[in-house]
Every structure is written in C-alpha cells, then in structure tokens.
Amino acid sequence: MTNAEIAAVFDRIADLLEFQDANPFRVRAYRNAARTIGDYSEPLSTVAADADRKLTDIAGIGKDLAEKIATLIETGSVPMLDELLAEIPESVLGMLRVPGLGPKRAATIYRELGVTSLDELAEACRAHRVRDLKGFGAKTEESILRDIDIAMDAGNRLLWAQADAIAQSLRAHLESCQSIAQMEFAGSYRRGKDTVGDLDLLVVAADETEVMDRLGAFESVREVLLRGSTKMSVRLSQGLQVDLRVVPAESFGAALQYFTGSKEHNVVLRGMARGRGLKVNEYGVFRGEERIAGQAEEDVYAALDLPCFAPELREARQEFAWAAAGEMPDLIQLSDIRGDLHAHTDWSDGVATIEEMAAAARERGLKYLAITDHSRRATIANGLDAARLRRQWAEIDRINSRLKGFTILKGVEVDILERGGLDFDDELLAEADWVVASVHFGQKQSREQITRRVIDALANPCVSAIAHPTGRLLGERKSYEIDLDAVLQAARDHGKIMELNAHPKRLDLDDVACAAAKNYGVPIVISTDAHNMEGLGAMRYGVVQARRGGLTKADVANTRSLNQLKKLLSRR
C-alpha cells in the first residue's frame, strides 16, 4: 500500500471514532497519525520490509500504530476499521464532510432520521425534516443545504498532493515498460490545480498492448472501465480515474498541449490559430491538410509566435496579455526557497522537537526556520502562555549558539481574538523575530467583523504576516467571510506580508489571491505550517500554487537570505 492509502485508512478510523463521539484525544491521535504518514517521504512499505529498521523509529508512530501499519501493508486491511464499519455504514461518513455539521449532529441525523448518504441528507433538508431535530433549527438546515455541495465535491476530487503521490507511483510503475518512448501527465494535475478529478496520461509506445497490460497491473487499479486500441480507463482504489492515451510521436506535443488545457486557454489558442488560417487540435497544427507542428509542445506554440506557457499559467487569465507585451514572468521554483517561516514543534501540537525540525529543514537545503507554535488561546493545540513562550525562545537561543550556517527564528503563531486584538501583548511580541497572526476562532462572524480583526492585526507593528488568510480547508470548509481586497490594501499600507500556507488542505492564499497580492505589491511568504519533520516537504505544493498565481522569486519573501529578509522586515 502507498503512504496515501495508509493515511486514508487512519483518517477514516478517526472519522468513525468522531462519529461515535469517542474520546477526542483518541480521535486526534489517529488524525495526527494520518498526517505523519501522509507527509512521510519514503514508502512505509520499504521501511517495514527492512529488517534493520523499525516503523517506531519514525517520529509520531508508536507501537500500536506500527502494528496496524504492518497489518495494513501485509493484508490490505485492519481489523479496527472493519469493526467500526460493521457498526456504521461507510456512506454516512460523507455527512462529516459537510461544513459545520460535525460528528454529533451527523450522528443525530443518522439515528433520528435514518439518513445514510448525502443525497438523503439533501432530501431531508428540502423536506424540512432536519429543522425539527433537537438542537438544529431552520438556519442550521439552510446552512447544511447550502454547503452540501462541498461534501459532494470532496468525494469526487482529490487534493493535488494526493493526486501527485499517485501520479509519481504510477510513473515509477510504468517506467519499467520497455515499449514506452515518451510519457507525461496532463490535465488539471499538470496545471497544478488544488484539487484533481482524474489523471490524464499520454504515452508514445511501440506496443499499445504492453502499455495497457502494465497499467492494468498497477497495484491500486480497482476496475478497468474501458480498453480500446489507443485508450484505456481505469478506476483506482482511491476513487481516482486514470485515462491513458497512446498517441503517435508526431502528435505527442499537440496532444500534451490539448489535454493539459485548460478549456478556456485552448479556446483562445484556437481562435488565434483561425486568425492565421491555421487549425490546432490534439493531432497537431495544420495549414490546410499539412501538419506544420505537433511533435513537441514548444513547436505548437511557436507556430503561433507564442512562448511555451508554463502549464500552471494556462487558465486564460493574463498569460496571453503577458506574451503580447513580452512580459512573461520567470516563475518561482522550489530551489529558490531559502527558509520556512511557519512550523510547529512538540511544545504545542507538533510531534518533533525544535532541534529535529531544524535538522530536517537544513537537510532540505534551507538556511533558516521560524518556530511558530500556537499562542495560549489555542488550548486544543496546547498553546503556549507567555512564560512557556519565553522558555522556548531561550531554548532556541541555546540551540542557535551551537549551529553554523543555519538559524532558528524565534516566532509565534498568535491568535487574532474574536473581540479583536491579539492573544499576547506587544511587549512580548516585540521580543520575537517573526510573528504570524491568524484567525482560528470566531470564523462565523460577519464579513465586517473578521475583516476588521485582520486589518487591525496588520496595523500592529509587531505582526510580520497573516497566516492562512481566508481559513479555507479544501473539501472540508469554505473560506470565512472576509473582504480580501481591503485586507490586501491594508497589508500594502502597513508594509506587511501575506502567507501562502502550503499545507495541501489549505493552499491559502489561493492562486487568484496570490495574483491580487502581487498587483498590490504585497510580498508573499510560502510556509509549510509543518507539524512534523516530513511536513516541511509541503513547500513544493505552495510553490506550485504560487506559480499558478504568476509569482516570481522577487514576489516571495522567503527566497531572500536571512539578512535580506531582516532588511525587508525592518523597512516594513
């Protein structure tokens, strides 16, 4: 089993336990386990198969969890999950994805109304049966009906990070097929969209049958949906559909461009071609019956005097205007990142020590790391009070005194309180190297209230940046109501930075908001919000999102050296 599949099992166990109103610490243990496993870069199956290694050597994995992982890898299932599913229909879990519903209310709906699916839930809301339940009411019913589409979409799409793990595993599986001469993924995955509905895979191969046989042998294939002479579609155990197309070498570039999309980008491209008396499709660029380009994607664009647009930009937003003006941005790359400015340790709700997080960041080639454990308001995350925070900063000073070529910044993720203001006073915050402010509570307040809270935080001279500024959780929670335009103006006016939180469930700011920040001249910091050492690897997801927003190295604050970053902060 892949790490993503193992993580999904523990997430499902946590869902079922939460539905049963189990001990919240037990639920959180399985949530943390899923996060640790999902972030771990090496396949756990490799670790388990190595006689000289133990799964318990991985931070956050204890004996009980290691035993369950080993059972999963060996048998493909775990008794605990089977027992829970025997008590609760799996279809009921879809209700837990409805924002604001929560496990206790979902359980009430299941037990009182016999609702076992999202479709049945929507029908019950439309029939006004939910509002009559104790503790619900008309407003709750309306809210469920309004947001149920989030839960439905979450069941149909995977996070980009999840799709990426599958794509890399599938690529490794297919690379051993001798018939394949060229292979590339296309579609929304290649464009880096935050969620992916399916995977498009294009290959040039000498033997189509051999390629399709190899795809069918992929360990995650659940069923073959279609198999023809040049196309094969399969459904994976994760629910993702993979569409394989075998194309001729002379058309590979044209097919890659066509199936990468987006639809809107391709509409503009075809219109430009018609204006030149040309035709563009998945087979090539044609002047009459003559194919004048198609083997390479660059040639397709060159035939229209266009640059080969980075896939992340192909959304028919600004890319064609940039090309016309000769102002294509040199997009940021992962190798440009010099530091990570949002990370948690076992002082709050992380699982690794300060030294372990610093060592892991250093191994990734970074030069600095800000430790930003939660402030006291986040009690569920073991938030730090002023005394503990100062003790942590003293510990960071001691560790830094032994380090060479790497610096740990004394930081904090301070809550923006529901009533306004920050969780710590300015006297304490002024001692920090880096202060990131965030909204964790009061997310259902009005647009005006939340906007004012964030703008007031930006006006505080101690605040460096705003973390995950819209509060969204992909597939789980919409952004809270906030006037982002007003917030970006305030960030510009107060000389502050906005975060692009790279956690795959957040990717917040989104690509459109990143582009807006760039237009305002507001720097972005791409941070991982890592809660374990492997979580630092989420930086690449943030970079993909930043590229979709058209950001360059100069637009991102943590591409700077530490001295350059300090100068930026002092000027602002």
Residue range 443-463, pLDDT digits in tens: 999 999 999 999 999 999 999
CATH no. for 334-571: 3.20.20.140
pLDDT in tens, 362-420: 999 999 999 999 999 988 888 999 999 999 999 999 999 999 999 999 999 999 999 99
Q: Measure the CA–CA gap between 74 and 68, rounded to whole angstroms.
A: 10
| % of the chain exceeding 90 in pLDDT | 74
For the chain, what is the total number of helices (H) and then of strands (E)? 23, 17
Q: Measure the CA–CA gap between 255 and 242, rounded to whole angstroms.
A: 16
pLDDT band at 571 (very low <50, low <70, confident <90, very high): low
pLDDT in tens, 55-111: 998 888 889 999 999 999 888 889 998 898 888 877 787 887 787 787 788 889 998
User: Cα–Cα distances in Å, from 471 out to 126, 323, 438, 506?
Assistant: 29, 34, 9, 8
Q: Measure the CA–CA gap between 336 and 556, rounded to whole angstroms.
A: 9
159-246: which CATH number, 3.40.50.300, 3.30.460.10, 3.30.750.24, 3.40.50.720?
A: 3.30.460.10
**Where are the alpha helices (H) located in 234-385, listed in sequence order?**
252-260, 263-275, 297-302, 319-325, 354-363
Query: Is pLDDT of 516 > 90?
Result: yes
| Mean pLDDT value of segment 170-182 | 96
At 393 the pLDDT is 98
Q: Measure the CA–CA gap between 533 and 536, rounded to whole angstroms.
A: 6
**Strands 368-371 and 339-343, how do they pair?**
parallel
Whether 291 and 299 have beta carbons less than 8 Å apart is answered as no
At 155 the pLDDT is 62
At 154 the pLDDT is 62
| Mean pLDDT value of segment 296-318 | 97
Residue 509 — φ and ψ, nearest 5°?
A: -75, 150
Q: Which two tokens mark 258?
A: 């066509």
Domain with CATH 1.10.150.110 in the chain: 3-156
pLDDT band at 21 (very low <50, low <70, confident <90, very high): confident
Domain with CATH 3.30.210.10 in the chain: 251-325
Q: Which two tokens mark 241?
A: 């559909």
- How many CB atoms lie under 10 A from the CB of residue 357? 27
Q: Measure the CA–CA gap between 440 and 558, rounded to whole angstroms.
A: 24
One-letter identity of residue 156 = N
Whether 375 and 462 have beta carbons less than 8 Å apart is answered as no
At 310 the pLDDT is 98
Domain with CATH 3.20.20.140 in the chain: 334-571
Q: Which two tokens mark 465?
A: 């940046």
| Mean pLDDT value of segment 230-258 | 95
- Cα dihedral sign, 37-43-45-50: negative
- How many CB atoms lie under 10 A from the CB of residue 346? 18
Q: Measure the CA–CA gap between 31 and 71, rounded to whole angstroms.
A: 19
Query: Mean of the per-residue pLDDT values for the chain?
Result: 93
- CATH class of this structure's domain 251-325: alpha beta
Whether 531 and 382 have beta carbons less than 8 Å apart is answered as no
At 105 the pLDDT is 86
Domain with CATH 3.30.460.10 in the chain: 159-246
CATH fold group of domain 3-156: DNA polymerase; domain 1 (1.10.150)
DSSP code string of 33-70: HHHHHHH-SS-HHHHHH-TT--GGGSTT--HHHHHHHH
Nearest alpha-carbon partner for 35 in 2, 73, 17, 8: 8
